[in-house]
């Protein structure tokens, strides 16, 4: 044991030490041979009981990771080594743009970005830019007319047979192109007193067979709340299916934990998870493990992406994304044209270019790996298929 080691004189007294040095004032004690040993700070420290490492449950882990998400543009740029004097104006614009829609990026997602690359496709999705502050014709705070589709608190009824619930106002990541960045979540959360109204509406509307849990991101809620809610849906006989729109398994794969898998696997409703992933670099081994776990709970996995300028607007990137998804048993479902929300014009891809990209994908991939190119046109009874 370290405490019984005889300390060589050379270690005990360094020439720089003064009369007030604590080691000189330390009491001496004896080792097993009866010789004096001096209790230096190092020995005392070595003998102190050490705090036991805190063991987080999986649920605590994703919640802790969520709390530690990066919220400061300066911190993100520093992490990516984009903090030199030449990046000063980038930081200033990021700080200004973040005032209207704050930055939020889980560390697990930021770690998949390439340090030093200002054009990193993952960084472009989350970094506030000066372009967000410009006004452009045709861009608005509610580009898909969610307000017209609200039929009960937090219930959007746009398409026959389906109802979408804005279950959570929060997301693990803030995507700069989010069309609900100004959605009035405070008045539209099916919880508390509003929950009864929501469930009553679903019970009365017998044509609704599929409930889409969305938000925000529904997987920001605890599994206790989610499983309780799903149990309430199970009691409504005409509901057959729940569909979960989420980006959490991509940006924070630790969210796919045992308690999530338990209720997903236990419900008698059919379950579909529609992931939101825009670039193959978003998928690492932890994301693949999360996809595998979701699949093994009996859930069907689909993906929807948004076509974004300088992120994924080329055939190579999107083919790579489809292949990467399929490695994780996930089928590409929709490639969405940008919804023209205020502040996102710098990410728009022209429709003709989008058509060329999808045609290029079709010439390289089997049909089941080519997503449907669609646009959300307000007032239509389904998404509008472009290609
Ligand atoms: S995850 Fe979806 S809802 Fe959340 S910020 Fe991104 S696009 Fe918007």
Using the atom order of ligand 1, give the atom closest to the CA of residue 179: 8
Within 10 angstroms of residue 114's Cβ, the number of other Cβ atoms is 14
Do residue 118 and residue 263 come from a single domain? no
* Residue 32, in any domain of the structure: no
Do residue 341 and residue 239 come from a single domain? yes
Mean pLDDT of all residues in the chain? 88
Do residue 157 and residue 120 come from a single domain? no
Do residue 174 and residue 323 come from a single domain? yes
Range of the domain at 100: 70-133
Do residue 92 and residue 171 come from a single domain? no
* Residue 152, in any domain of the structure: yes
What's the rounded mean pLDDT across residues 320-334? 98
Using the atom order of ligand 1, give the atom closest to the CA of residue 171: 4
Residue from 174, 251, 305 to probe ligand 1 pocket by mutation (most atoms less than 8 Å from CB): 174
Is there a contact between 90 and 77 (Cβ–Cβ < 8 Å)?
Answer: yes
pLDDT of residue 53: 54
Is there a contact between 94 and 77 (Cβ–Cβ < 8 Å)?
Answer: yes
pLDDT digits (tens, 9 = 90+) for 135-167: 999 999 999 888 889 998 899 999 999 999 999
Query: Which of the pair, 143 or 44, is modelled with greater confidence?
Result: 143
pTM of the model: 0.85
Do residue 76 and residue 172 come from a single domain? no
Confidence of residue 279 (pLDDT cuts 50, 70, 90): very high
Task: Establish whether residue 124 lines the binding site of ligand 1, counting it when its CB lies within 6 angstroms of any ligand atom.
Answer: no
Residue with tokens 């969405």: 336
pLDDT of residue 258: 94
* Residue 14, in any domain of the structure: no
Query: Which of the pair, 179 or 44, is modelled with greater confidence?
Result: 179
pLDDT of residue 32: 54
pLDDT digits (tens, 9 = 90+) for 7-30: 333 343 333 433 333 333 444 455
Do residue 75 and residue 220 come from a single domain? no
Do residue 184 and residue 89 come from a single domain? no
Q: How far are the Cα atoms of 71, 72, 176, 180, 192 from residue 67, in angstroms, in the given order?
A: 10, 13, 20, 22, 24
Task: Establish whether residue 180 lines the binding site of ligand 1, counting it when its CB lies within 6 angstroms of any ligand atom.
Answer: yes
* Residue 168, in any domain of the structure: yes
CA of 332 to the centre of ligand 1 (A): 18
Task: Establish whether residue 176 lines the binding site of ligand 1, counting it when its CB lies within 6 angstroms of any ligand atom.
Answer: no
Do residue 263 and residue 198 come from a single domain? yes
CA of 18 to the centre of ligand 1 (A): 61
Confidence of residue 194 (pLDDT cuts 50, 70, 90): confident
* Residue 177, in any domain of the structure: yes
Do residue 119 and residue 216 come from a single domain? no
* Residue 5, in any domain of the structure: no
Do residue 113 and residue 166 come from a single domain? no
CATH of residue 251's domain is 3.20.20.70
For ligand 1, atom 6, the nearest C-alpha belongs to 175
Last residue of some domain: 133, 162, 183?
133
Pairwise CA distance, residues 342 & 168, whole Å: 22
To 5 degrees, how large is the angle CA 61–CA 244–CA 377?
130
Task: Establish whether residue 247 lines the binding site of ligand 1, counting it when its CB lies within 6 angstroms of any ligand atom.
Answer: yes
pLDDT digits (tens, 9 = 90+) for 284-322: 999 999 999 999 999 999 999 999 999 999 999 999 999
Task: Establish whether residue 171 lines the binding site of ligand 1, counting it when its CB lies within 6 angstroms of any ligand atom.
Answer: yes
Confidence of residue 84 (pLDDT cuts 50, 70, 90): very high
Last residue of some domain: 104, 133, 162?
133
Q: How many domains does the chain have?
A: 2
Task: Establish whether residue 216 lines the binding site of ligand 1, counting it when its CB lies within 6 angstroms of any ligand atom.
Answer: yes
Do residue 122 and residue 154 come from a single domain? no
CA of 179 to the centre of ligand 1 (A): 8
* Residue 16, in any domain of the structure: no
Last residue of some domain: 133, 154, 178?
133
pLDDT at 57 over 90: no
* Residue 79, in any domain of the structure: yes
């Amino acid at each position: 044991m370290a405490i019984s080691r005889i300390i060589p004189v050379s270690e005990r007294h360094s020439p720089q030490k003064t009369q007030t040095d604590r080691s000189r004032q330390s009491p001496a004690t004896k080792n097993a041979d009866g010789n004096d040993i001096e209790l230096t700070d190092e020995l005392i420290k070595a003998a102190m009981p050490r705090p036991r490492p805190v063991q987080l449950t999986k649920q605590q882990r994703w919640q802790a990771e969520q709390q530690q998400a990066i919220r400061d543009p300066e911190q993100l740029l520093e992490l990516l080594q984009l903090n030199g004097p030449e990046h000063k104006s980038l930081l200033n614009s990021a700080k200004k743009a973040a005032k209207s829609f704050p930055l939020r990026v889980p560390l697990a997602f930021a770690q998949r970005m390439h340090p030093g690359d200002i054009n990193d496709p993952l960084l472009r999705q989350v970094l506030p830019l000066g372009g967000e502050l410009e006004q452009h014709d045709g861009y608005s705070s509610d580009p898909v007319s969610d307000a017209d589709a609200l039929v009960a608190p937090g219930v959007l009824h746009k398409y026959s047979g389906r109802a979408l619930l804005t279950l959570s106002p929060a997301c693990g990541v803030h995507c700069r192109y989010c069309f609900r960045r100004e959605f009035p979540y405070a008045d539209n959360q099916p919880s508390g007193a509003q929950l009864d109204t929501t469930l009553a509406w679903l019970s009365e509307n017998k044509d609704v067979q599929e409930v889409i849990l969305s938000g925000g991101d529904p997987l920001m809620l605890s599994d206790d709340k989610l499983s309780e809610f799903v149990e309430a849906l199970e009691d409504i006989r005409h509901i057959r299916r729940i569909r979960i729109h989420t980006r959490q398994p991509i940006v924070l794969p630790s969210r796919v934990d045992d308690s999530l898998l338990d209720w997903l696997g236990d419900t008698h409703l059919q379950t579909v998870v529609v992931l939101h992933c825009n670039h193959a670099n978003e998928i690492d081994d932890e994301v693949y493990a999360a996809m595998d776990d979701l699949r093994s709970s009996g859930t069907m996995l689909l993906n929807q992406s948004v076509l974004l300028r300088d992120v994924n607007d080329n055939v190579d990137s999107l083919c790579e994304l489809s292949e990467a998804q399929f490695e994780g048993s996930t089928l590409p479902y929709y490639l969405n044209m940008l919804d023209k929300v205020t502040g996102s014009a710098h990410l728009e891809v022209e429709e003709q270019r989008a058509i060329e990209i999808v045609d290029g994908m079709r010439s390289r991939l089997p049909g089941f790996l080519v997503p449907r190119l669609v646009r959300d046109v307000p007032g239509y009874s389904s998404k509008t298929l472009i290609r």
